[in-house]
Structure 1
Amino acid sequence: MTKSTGKRLLEYALTAKKTFIAALLLLSIGVAAELAGPFIAKSMIDNHMLAIEKPYFSTTSPEEAVQYNNAYYKRGDRFEPGEAKGQEIRILQSGRSFYFINEAVTQSDGERKFSNGEMHITRGQDEVIYPAVKLSADELFDFYKPELPGIYQLVGLYAIFLVISIFAEFGKTYWLQSSANQVIRKLRTDVYSHIQRLPVYFFDNLPAGKVVSRVTNDTEAIKDLFIAVLSNFSTGIINITGVYIALFLLDVRLGLISLFIIPILILWIVLYRKIATKYNTIIRSRLSEINAIINESIQGMSIVRIFRRQKQLGEEFEHLNDDYLKYQNKMLNLNAFTSHNLVNSLRSLSFVMVLWYFGNGSITGSTFVSLGVLYAFVDVLGRLFQPITGMVNQLANLDTSMVSAGRVFTLMDEPGENVTDGSMPRYKGKVEFKNVSFAYKKDFVLRDISFEARPGETVALVGHTGSGKSSIINLLFRFYDPQKGEITIDGQKVTDIPKQWLRNHMGIVLQDPYLFTGTIASNVSLGDERISRERVERALREVGADKLLAHLPQGFDEPVIEKGSTLSAGQRQLISFARALSFDPAILILDEATSNIDTETESVIQDALEVLKKGRTTFIIAHRLSTIRSADQILVLHHGEIVERGSHDELMALGGRYLRMYQLQVGAGSNSIDNDNGAPSRSSLGSLQPSLEKM
């Protein structure tokens, strides 16, 4: 049973769990430090700034006391147990001024008004009057002086929490991104490794640009999931949890009222993803197709220009690009219509409910709270929407990342070939096909093929395009396995030999050899540690490459760009010969190496061929029949069957299909072999070449 995308992403996340846990721990510390701010502000307001209205008592000790009219007064909650309290007094505010009342106040809540040396306090139908004296600014400041140490402590505590929050934010960001990079590195490595294990036929149906898009664009989108999305959602969840804890600590009923936000948020995420996933699937698919068409256009740029296909390709690209833009705009509309609108609506609704709660409570007198609690509650509730905004804004990235992850895991779920460590001794190279029949899909392209190639022999395969030459080589390399019959090497079934072991002692030289970015020497050794520099140079000299490469400024260290486009066809061919020779294969496959090079270079190539074939079982896909006259065995293929076999002289004497093909070439001076109608046709390894280049 295939695991869900979320579970597989979690498994990858666990590969860097230590740094993820450290990041989340710092995130929690940072959130706690940040949420401490409103509580500090509440304490500052209620316990110091507004606490001046609490009852004061006269005292004989000046410690923490206020001197007023030659008497000392201290807040009632600051007396030590057992310490004597004198006369009670109160400081009350009316308007912007504060007033001294030299007696206990039984009712301080209500509308206050000072007139003619009296403080009138009205609540409903009740009114109380107290004699009062207005305090000057200096006298008022004297009453605030005992509060300053506590205020300074709270300010210092706030600064400490601020510093903790800053360091926690830095550590969280660094470790979260570090762990995300580790996860993506592993994921990208696993994807690339799996691509190397995929059977060759898989790439016949999936353009290279789409594969590249999954390894690069899609994994980069997953990186956003671990950095931006995970960061915002982790921060959001921890923040929201902390905020609700703070809300319940401030006022349980208000905390309960504010809980309505959670189900709305969850419902929105579910509905959003349902719509966005449909759009993002198309967006990622179109991006892959755009990459594929760009890759194909660049690879075939010369053909595009020769046949003046720029306009048609431009139109095709524009169609894909327009479709990509169309669904991007749909996602943009979805995000613009919902993200900020949702958050603003939730914010407005929550504040309406808070105002209703306090307003209704104030009228009925049932829910009186201090100004500090009100300030802290509004502050904390406001902080609730910062993480919600961050989460909602990341919903688009979340969905894009999940769609991309699904595409990557779909690729990784494709069955790959088993990789078997180790190797086998170099086999002698006796190859035998026994009644082999093979079909790529339904129709058989090879029927009852039987032949034997002894060690050191050269076997040539000739026939028109589609006769089955490439299919025989595909089966020999085990890119495919036959539906009927069996193939053996040195008497052992190839299906019993691990593919890597089998191919370890095979080599191939394509008609149009593929060179990689690097140097001439690196293209010979392909980075194999077993092949020394000395062996590389010897192989190049033995095939005569030093004659054609001698003029290059850096010799065998001359840089080679992709496909070796700066080298001539003959130079590329000789490098591929040296590559095959340096690996010392027991079985060698040769596409006709002289079919598209000049006559002077051909003589060098022919000498190199003789060096290359020495001591190996060689299969030649023949284009020029004149080049296979010395072959030990020639197999003439027609419609997937061997219709003639023998040496050149035997087949010429037979007077059949091979003779007619030979006469056509000699008479017409062509490099062709006949097709179904007996007409010339050049291609022989066309269908095999893309597969072998991916080998």
Structure 2
Amino acid sequence: MGSTGKRLFRYAMLYKKPIFAALGFMLIAVCVELLGPLIAQRMIDNNIMGIEKKWHVEASESRYGVEYEGVRYKREDHFSGDETKGEVARVLQMEGKNYFLRGDLAFDGKRSVTDGTLTVTAEDGTAAVYPVTPLTSEELYRFYKPELPGLLTLAAAYLGLLAVAAVFTYFQRLLLQKSANRIVQRMREDVFAHTQRLPVQYFDNLPAGKVVSRITNDTEAVRELFVAVLTNFFAGAVYMVAIFGALFMLEPWLAALALPIVPILAVWIVVYRKFAGRYNEVIRNKLSDINAMINESILGMPIIQAFRRSKRTMEEFEEHNKEFYKYQNKLLNLNSLTSHNLVNVVRNALFIVVIWLFWGDWLGSIVTVGVLYAFIDYMNRMFQPIVGIVNQLANLETARVSAERVFRLLDEPGTDVATGALPRYKGEVRFEDVTFAYKNDDYVLKNISFEARQGETVALVGHTGSGKSSILNLLFRFYDIEKGSIKVDGTDVRDIPKQLLRQHMGIVLQDPYLFTGTIASNVSLDNPAITRDKVVQALKDVGAYDMFMNLPGGIDEPVLEKGSTLSAGQRQLISFARALAYDPAILILDEATASIDTETEAIIQQALDVLKQGRTTFVIAHRLSTIRQADQILVLDRGEIVERGNHETLMQHGGKYYAMYQLQQGGAPVLSA
């Protein structure tokens, strides 16, 4: 995962204490749990199969002694060092029955009993016969009875260990889940905060749905990395190390047989990641495309339905969805091929080899039944986390690809949010030989120079694409210029942090954006510095207060997303009041009256006469009648200022402004010679 892994590790280290505590709890739980097979092996070999060990006649009665036919016998491993051992006897198990033999076997081998006679045949064909007596169930129970207290103690210890492991596992999962949630919370906050620092042009080329997908879907996939993938991989590693250690202590030959599992698993992971990484990259990109299209379709639903584009939109969505489905199936096939079924095949093949060697006497001479049981138990316990690792490979690759997409967004150059405050400037603006292009050398502004003094109203007019909005985008530093300079109160705007520069600027767009909330919250934008009184005053200044007070909720009337329940004029008035509530030194009206009815426009015009006092105002307007009172009118054509002056001066000049004005008034334009 390279640098992506390092950055994820740095995020994890922010909450290292709970994560390390969780991994510590997991380590304890695994170690405690792995004592189980050793206890089981002891129960089988000592307490259950131990009945076949040698029994001796005991000299005095003891708690391990067993009476049979008037003689007391005790198993040899229960004799103390100074006790005298009497004659030997054996309890033998054959063909589901148990027999008592006075004396010992000369050698062991294949056993058979006929008419009370035991025949033992060695591998070389040597045979020996012994007289034996069948044991009844009651007699057999006597030989087992001394082992019951130890058997029950070990069983209780086994259950106790399971309970301890369960407690530690619970706290491990709880801590890891909480840590993962906090990591993703922090990551989402970082990504969202970074989107606030990104320049406006970044969003020109990236649909909103794709940004949403990175903040939500991709970070959620990363959460699975810390919850499921980390748990399974760490637990699997601990299990494998601990189990191999236990196997080497138990029986080195069995451990050697299990060792090939490690390289097989390593190759398995490498091959899987090679293919899964490719598929996941396409899947995450397609998911972003789907989110982007859904977002665009919802926002543009009126246009889609009005122009009967629903069918074509559905076809485009189906194309994206089919591609997404195609690669999901490819990944599904890969997961099915390399899933736990393949793990089970490897495990069962190993079991067959071990059992064949055991019953073929290759291992029978060195491996007891209890050891064989412990080995199988350990293998089952080891293959369980291996299955977990294999099943989490898909999540690992998804998380890796998602993390790369998140970090790619975080690596986009942005501007740090400036702290503090900038004293309110006068609002004197000067453009000096400004030349600007959005792309390469396709200049939209060429050698723009003008000066706006404090309190002046400057109007920008011209045909669509002439560069009017570009001038204001540069003033707001949504984009930065390559040539020339822009100064506010004599200071180059590039020397002022963007947030502080905009602190004393207000803007009203042609299509105002309203947020979910209330009318009042959309004016103040929940800025604590904008009091309720300021909100009311701003609405009164634009002449909208009485209009909104007639609504059921007054200025606390709920506003849905984008203000869909309000008229275009009402939305524009809220946007206008929002700009005024912040008391800007520079006010920008970007075709603010273009979509407003005549009555509402008259209200705004009345407010403007009062508000422009002491405030520099820039107006972009297609309705030339609204800018007759402007102190300075700049006429733009193809990125250049071709005329400048006030209304009377430009009308007398008889140039482009005169022609546009006459055309809007309904008269034929009369151009001067």
State whether residues 592 and 621 of structure 2, in contact with CA within 8 Å, keep that contact through their aligned partners in structure 1: no
Structure 2 match to 1:220:
220
Distance 1:203 1:488 in 2: 26
The answer to whether the 8 Å contact 2:357/2:364 transfers is: no
Partner of 1:283: 283
Counterpart for residue 643 of structure 1: 642
Distance 1:366 1:313 in 2: 71
Alignment partners' CA distance in 1, 2:325 and 2:368: 55
1:131 aligned to 2:117? no
Q: What residue number does 1:181 align with?
A: 181
1:244 alignment counterpart: 244
Deviations 1:564-603 (A, max 9, x none): 1111112111111211111011001012333222222222
**Alignment correspondent of 1:409:** 407
Letter in 2 for 1:432: R
Q: What residue number does 1:326 align with?
A: 326
In structure 2, how many angstroms separate the alpha carbons of the residues matched to 1:313 and 1:230?
41
Q: Any residues of structure 2 matched to 1:428-439 within 5 Å, and which?
A: 428-439=426-437
Tell me, in whole angstroms, the C-alpha distance in 2 between the residues paired with 1:297 and 1:231.
40
Residue in structure 2 matched with residue 121 of structure 1 by the alignment: 120
What is the CA–CA distance in structure 1 between the aligned matches of 2:195 and 2:592, rounded to whole Å? 30
Q: Deviations over 1:95-123 (max 9, x none)?
A: 2222222223332x212223343322221
Q: Which residue pairs with 1:421 in the alignment?
A: 419
Matched with 2:77 is 77
- Matched with 2:526 is 527
Q: Secondary structure of the equivalent of 1:201? A: helix
1:104-183 matched pairs, under 5 angstroms: 104-107=104-107, 109-124=108-123, 125-183=125-183
> Which string of whole-angstrom CA distances, capped at 9 and with x for unpartnered residues, describes residues 114-136 of structure 1?
33433222213222223322222
Which one-letter code corresponds to 1:426 in the other structure? R
Structure 1 residue 54: Cα displacement? 1.1
Distance between the aligned counterparts of 1:610 and 1:579, measured in 2? Answer: 18
2:194 alignment partner, SS class: helix
Bigger mean CA deviation after superposition, 594-603 or 17-26: 594-603
User: For 1:26-61, what per-residue CA distance to the aligned partner results, in whole angstroms no more than 9, with x for missing partners?
Assistant: 212222232222211110110111111111222212
Mean CA deviation greater in 37-46 or 334-343: 334-343
Q: Distance in 2 between matches of 1:134 and 1:338?
A: 53
> Alpha-carbon deviation of 1:356?
4.3
Letter paired with 2:270: V
| More moved, 110-119 vs 254-263 | 110-119
What displacement does 1:668 show?
A: 5.7
Instruction: Give 3-state SS (helix, strand or coil) of 1:129's partner.
Output: strand
- The number of aligned residues is 668
* Structure 1 Cα separation of the partners of residues 152 and 458 of structure 2: 96
Q: Distance in 2 between matches of 1:551 and 1:557?
A: 11
Mark the CA change 1:90 to 1:366 in structure 2 (over 3 Å): closer, same or farther.
closer
SS at match of 1:438: strand
Q: Which has the higher mean CA deviation after the structures are superposed, 346-355 or 628-637?
A: 346-355
TM-score by length of 1: 0.93
Q: Shift of residue 147 of structure 1?
A: 0.4
Determine the structure 1 residue equivalent to 2:451.
452
Within 5 Å, give how 1:544-583 maps onto structure 2: 544-583=543-582
Match in the other structure for 1:690: none
Q: How much does 1:367 deviate?
A: 4.2
CA displacement at 1:187 relative to structure 2: 0.6
Residue 245 of structure 1: how far off its partner (Å): 1.8
Instruction: Give 1:359 shift.
Output: 4.3
Range that drifts further, 186-195 or 659-668: 659-668
- Closer, same or farther in 2 for the Cα pair 1:3/1:402, shift >3 Å? closer
Q: Which residue of 2 aligns with 1:342?
A: 342
Q: Is contact 2:469–2:590 with CA below 8 Å preserved after alignment?
A: no
Is the Cα–Cα contact under 8 Å of residues 435 and 485 in structure 1 kept in the other structure? yes
Residue 634 of structure 1 deviates from its aligned partner by 0.6
Q: SS where residue 305 of structure 1 aligns?
A: helix
Percent of aligned positions that are identical: 57
Q: What root-mean-square deviation, in Å, do the aligned CA atoms of Structure 1 and Structure 2 show?
A: 1.9
CA contact (8 A) 2:293 2:317 kept: yes
SS in 2 for 1:87: strand
Task: Report the counterpart of residue 662 of structure 2 in structure 1.
Answer: 663
Equivalent pair of 1:62/1:72 in contact (CA under 8 Å) = no
Per-residue deviation, 1:70: 2.3
* Matching residue of 2:41: 42
- What secondary structure sits across from 2:526 in the alignment? coil
Are the equivalent residues in 2 in contact too, given 1:593–1:605 (CA < 8 A)?
no
1:382 corresponds to which residue? 380
SS in 1 for 2:253: helix
* Residues 445 and 468, structure 1, Cα contact 8 Å, conserved in 2: yes
Decide which moves more: 600-609 or 286-295: 600-609
| 1:4 aligned partner | 3
Q: Are positions 1:308 and 2:313 aligned together?
A: no
Match of 1:482 in 2: 481
- SS of aligned partner of 1:170: helix
- Whether 2:639 is the aligned partner of 1:616: answer no
- Aligned residue number for residue 592 of structure 1: 591
CA drift at 1:366: 7.7
How many Å separate the matches in 1 of 2:340 and 2:49? 37
Residues 58-100 of structure 1: CA distance to partner in whole angstroms, max 9, x if unpaired? 2212332112222221111111221222222221222222222
For residues 69 and 348 of structure 2, the distance between their equivalents in structure 1, rounded to whole angstroms, comes to 51
Q: Secondary structure at the match of 1:445?
A: strand
The amino acid of 1:319's aligned partner reads E
Paired with 1:395 and 1:439, the residues of 2 have a C-alpha distance of 47
Report the counterpart of residue 203 of structure 1 in structure 2.
203
Residue equivalent to 1:462 = 461
Alpha-carbon distance in 1 for matches of 2:40, 2:667: 99
Q: CA deviation at 1:638?
A: 0.9
How do residues 672-691 of structure 1 correspond to structure 2 at under 5 angstroms? none
Identify the range of structure 1 (530-539 vs 345-354) with the bigger mean alpha-carbon deviation. Answer: 345-354
Report the Cα distance in structure 2 between the residues aligned to 1:652 and 1:593, rounded to whole angstroms: 24
Q: Secondary structure at the match of 2:179?
A: helix
Call closer, same or farther: CA 1:45–1:529 in 2, change over 3 Å: same
CA distance in 2, matches of 1:610, 1:367: 107
Deviates more, 1:272-281 or 1:604-613: 604-613
CA distance in 1, matches of 2:635, 2:555: 40
Which residue matches 2:653? Answer: 654
Q: Which runs of 5 or more residues in structure 1 are unaligned?
A: 678-695
- 8 Å CA contact retained: 1:577, 1:612: no
The offset of 1:138, in angstroms, is 1.1
